[in-house]
Amino acid sequence: MSHISTTTTENRLREEIAEIGRAFRLLGMAPGTSGNISAKLDDGWLMTPTNASLGALDPAAISKLDWDGNLLAGEPPTKESFLHRAFYDQRPDTGGIIHLHATHSAAVSCLNGLDERSCLPPITPYFVMRVGRLPLIPYYRPGDPALGDAIREHAKTHGAVLLANHGPVVAGKTLEAARNAIEELEETAKLYLLLRQHDVRTLGEAEIDELRQAFGAHW
């Protein structure tokens, strides 16, 4: 019975990853073969394949890995799997992780003078509740394993990071939570870019503290 349940859960998550990938492509958040999505299983984790378009994922081809990184099923995984592993290692309650090169958040990642403690200010309560502080990870070349170590330094205390000149990585207790958070992050990045030349009212500490108490926000 447990094997049947595990298989059912895995198949459901494969379908969910493919559906989320299609949605991101339609929203313009996953150009080309950029971005990757993962989900945790009881016996390993699912990871989108290398050089795969998120808009055209075959659920059966999605990689399944054990916690030693061995491929158990599907096609070879993205070379950025270690970005996800860094979060899984540090946040045991993580159920899903998403990394995108979405336009507005990637644009913010290319700006000079960002606050390294949080690249985006508390513009809206929804950003504070769903994402929280967004620390900046310095630039590393794509595929550099040292990037995973840099993420680990922040992953224990933050559910999302922004990779310089690259894009965001967001973890959630479920895959759906990660999806909602990264969409909120992208919308906040868009607002931030639209408002940069204006005198912006951000949430004050008392307002953020109210969100902590009412919704368990982490800021």
Q: What is the CATH number of the domain that holds 165?
A: 3.40.225.10
pLDDT band at 47 (very low <50, low <70, confident <90, very high): very high
Q: Is the dihedral of CA 137, 206, 183, 171 positive or negative?
A: positive
Domain count, the chain: 1
pLDDT band at 203 (very low <50, low <70, confident <90, very high): very high
Range of the domain at 84: 2-215
Q: Which of 10, 16, 80, 183 is catalytic?
A: 80
What's the average model confidence in pLDDT over 82-105? 97
Measured distance CA(18)–CA(176) in Å, rounded: 12
Burial class (CB in 10 A: 0-12, 13-18, 19+), 33: middle
pLDDT value at position 1?
Answer: 36
Coil, helix or strand at residue 177:
helix
Percentage with pLDDT > 90 across the chain: 94
pLDDT value at position 52?
Answer: 96
Dump pLDDT digits (tens) for 103-139: 999 999 999 999 999 999 999 999 999 999 999 999 9
H helix or E strand, kind and range, residue 37: strand 36-41
H helix or E strand, kind and range, residue 167: strand 167-172
Measured distance CA(8)–CA(11) in Å, rounded: 5
Of 2-16, 168-182, 200-214, the least confident: 2-16
The two beta strands, 167-172 and 160-163, are antiparallel
pLDDT value at position 106?
Answer: 98
pLDDT value at position 6?
Answer: 59
| Residue 139 a catalytic site member | no
| Residue 15 a catalytic site member | no
Amino acid identity at 14? R
pLDDT value at position 3?
Answer: 41
What's the average model confidence in pLDDT over 33-45? 96
pLDDT value at position 143?
Answer: 87
Q: Which of 126, 139, 187, 210 is catalytic?
A: 126
Tokens (6 digits) for 218: 């982490």
What's the average model confidence in pLDDT over 135-146? 94
